[in-house]
Structure 1
Amino acid sequence: MTEDEASVRLLELAAASAEIYDADIILYSGDISDVGFGKIVETILTTRNRENIVLVMTTNGGSANSAYQIARFIQKVYKKFYLYAPSYCKSAGTIVALGAHELIMDPFSELGPLDVQLLKQNELGARKSGLLTKSAFEGLADASLTVFERLMLPIMQKSGGLVNFQLAAELSSTMTAAMMSTIFAKLDPDTVGSDKRDLEVAFDYGIRLIEKSGNASHATVMHLVQHYPAHDFIIDDEEASDLFENVSFPDPNLMGLASLLGSRAYDESEDVQVISLSAMATDQRSDDNERSTQEEAASNGDGVHTARSRRTDRKGNSKSKGDKDEDILTDNPVNAAPETDLAGGNGEGTPIKDA
């Protein structure tokens, strides 16, 4: 399959998916941020064509605030919100998932704990997991208990009964405190409190979103916050089916669409990419219909072929048939892919070339 053929096939799959789900098909790939929220708003407002949406999302996470804004905006604009995770949709991405009425997942899909990514102090652009401080505190508490037990029992055993339980416990407590106090002192109370607060924010956002989506319970949101040991812990499609009410397998057309999108669907883009795939398919179909009409008119000899047909884009601007769709294919990355073909290489799941 050539690149041109792969691009045509991609748009055919986008159109078919839009028909099957009766939804706009929008790709979001990248960090969840204010920039991403702005792009999703602009894309939806300029390309919305149906009552439902399938958001194809690939992200490692980002801002909990932006995730909540994205999910709430989609809930307000669309009647039904599907979220398809062809690859990983973690952290703040899981917050967005809680706002969806239905999750679409396959064996390659991943959600993650409801764990916000916090900026590291004195490190520009670097982030840390909100679970780190919690895990550190729990680990030190477990270590303290272990030290206490290992000190107290030998004291009682080696004393030959001369030291009773109460005295052994007091001695062990004193020694444990002396050993662990310097380590606990390194924990900044402000950091502990701040991280706890941020995790509570993620929890509260999740609760508000499921009140609209109805796709999870309060217990599920609490589970996503508290019951996973690490930020990158994988929640696959089977576990997601236990946590969420509505989880379905993707239609073959939607899976094929993700495959042809390649790296845009399976890897987080360095710069946030928001693309209305269904809108591009609609535009292509309109172009094909117009070209067919012109060719038919020309074959009938009525002279229509001598004039350049004009059309109107989604923003109301008049365009010539020969003009490029600048707002969709080139200059505006909000609504479309870069100038390179959407599908790269042989079209069989080959990653798309970056612009």
Structure 2
Amino acid sequence: MNTMAPHDVKLIEAITRITDTLDADLFFYAGEICREGYERVCDGLDQLGPDKRTNCGLFLNTYGGDPHAAYRLARALGHHYERLILYVHGPCKSAGTLMAIGFNEIVIGDRGELGPMDVQLANREEILEYNSGLDMIQAMDRLHKHAKDAFKDFMKDMRMKEHLSTKFASDTARQLTQGLFSGLYAQMDPVRLGHVQRTMLITEAYGNRLNARTGILRSEKSLRALVYDYPTHDFVIDRSEARNHLFAEGYVRCPDLHEHMVAALLYELHPGSRRDVEFLHLLHTVVTPAALPTADDQAGEAAATPVQEPKAAQHGKRGRQAGNKPVSTLPQE
């Protein structure tokens, strides 16, 4: 028989309170958003069977991943539950933000942050380094603007200051502009540019499909802003930015005391910075502070200790089987 400290009981009470108030199954997903994570979520939902509640609450810590997997995850949860609530206490970046569009409500803590959805592509020059897909598109736009301005300046100077004929001035300006910028344009790989543009369109198309179900975005411009307009992939989209510029009124709120308590402990368990995936059903597996990694643990290692639920929590589940086990954690890469 397990002995629980007072703070463990408070944690279970907080989870049970959220579960009963929202009539929601509560899940925790942390790490890279990938197909493997999608399969684990589907396996976890299958284990619940007919014991699922009406709604779903997901605590998500991630720095992003595969947009295809993000779309599948959001759609899978939407198939199983009527209403989806997303809890963001730490990072929910890139593909995590794409997932957020598929939810009916987003609860963002003071330290929570979303991020732009521009695609990250492997750097051909460096190992394990990525560049934003917007880099090439923005470079092309900048070159186009500079080339057009250069042609206008050459043309104006020769026509107005040197009093040359319009035909001669335009031909000379064209040759000067071509000589100045042709080398830069030659460095652009059209095949890679096409790949970047298609990938960005994929992310935008997934966002449109998810928003068609939830209507969570403020306008069509909000989705384009998330994909194209932010200056860097690491740009911080906090609660104020999300509420005032991206999502419709009433869809973003602050966490209450119980939600904050659960989210804070889960952030300590796995802040989302590691690639390994952690997926838990919070009423079937309660993670205690004693299970958190110590200074002697290996880098990136986390632990979770199952705790037997008290009878009050079992009664709150309306007949659920308390013996369901969470999906096991993958070994660290």
TM-score, length-normalised on structure 2?
0.79
Asked if structure 2 preserves the Cα contact closer than 8 Å seen for 1:220 and 1:243, the reply is yes
1:15–1:278 contact (8 Å) kept in structure 2: yes
Residue in structure 2 matched with residue 140 of structure 1 by the alignment? 143
1:7 and 1:180 map into 2 onto residues whose CA distance is: 65
Q: CA deviation at 1:124?
A: 6.3
Q: 1:49: how far off?
A: 3.6
Deviation at 1:176, TM superposition (A): 1.4
Match of 2:276 among 271, 288, 295: 271
Would you say the 8 A contact 1:62–1:116 is kept in 2? Answer: no
User: Residues 162-185 of structure 1: CA distance to partner in whole angstroms, max 9, x if unpaired?
Assistant: 224554333222111111111111
Match of 1:233 in 2: 235
**What fraction of aligned residue pairs are identical, expressed as a percent?**
29
Structure 2 unaligned runs (5+)? Answer: 288-305, 313-320
Match of 1:324 in 2: none
- The match for 2:226 among 215, 224, 239 is 224
Gaps of 5+ in 1: 291-311, 316-326, 339-353
What corresponds to 1:118 in structure 2?
A: 121
Q: Is the 8 A contact 1:26 1:276 kept in 2?
A: yes
- In the alignment, residue 255 of structure 2 is paired with which amino acid? P
**Quick one: structure 1 residues 278 and 151, their matched pair in 2 at CA, closer, same or farther if it must change by over 3 Å?**
farther
Q: TM-score, normalised on structure 1?
A: 0.74
Query: Counterparts of 2:177 and 2:109 in 1: how far apart (Å)?
Result: 49
Q: How far apart, CA to CA, are the structure 1 residues paired with 2:11 and 2:142?
A: 49
Q: Paired residue for 1:333, among 325, 329, 333? A: 329
Describe the SS at the equivalent of 2:285: helix
Q: Judge conservation of contact 1:56–1:85 (CA < 8 Å) in 2.
A: yes
User: 1:254/1:194 Cα in 2 relative to 1: closer, same or farther (>3 Å)?
Assistant: same
Report deviation, 1:67.
Answer: 0.6
- Which runs of structure 2 are paired with 1:1-355 in the superposition (5 Å)? 5-47=6-48, 49-121=52-124, 126-156=129-159, 158-159=161-162, 162-216=163-217, 217-241=219-243, 242-245=245-248, 246-264=251-269, 266-281=271-286, 284=307, 286=309, 288-289=310-311, 314-315=323-324, 327-328=325-326, 332-333=328-329
- TM-superposed CA distance for 1:220, in Å, is 2.4
- 2: CA distance, partners of 1:264 / 1:145: 53
Q: Distance in 2 between matches of 1:28 and 1:268?
A: 12
> RMSD of the TM alignment (CA)?
2.9
Distance 1:171 1:314 in 2: 81
Q: Distance in 2 between matches of 1:97 and 1:69?
A: 12
Q: 1:207 to 1:146 in 2, by over 3 A?
A: same
Distance 1:36 1:205 in 2: 18
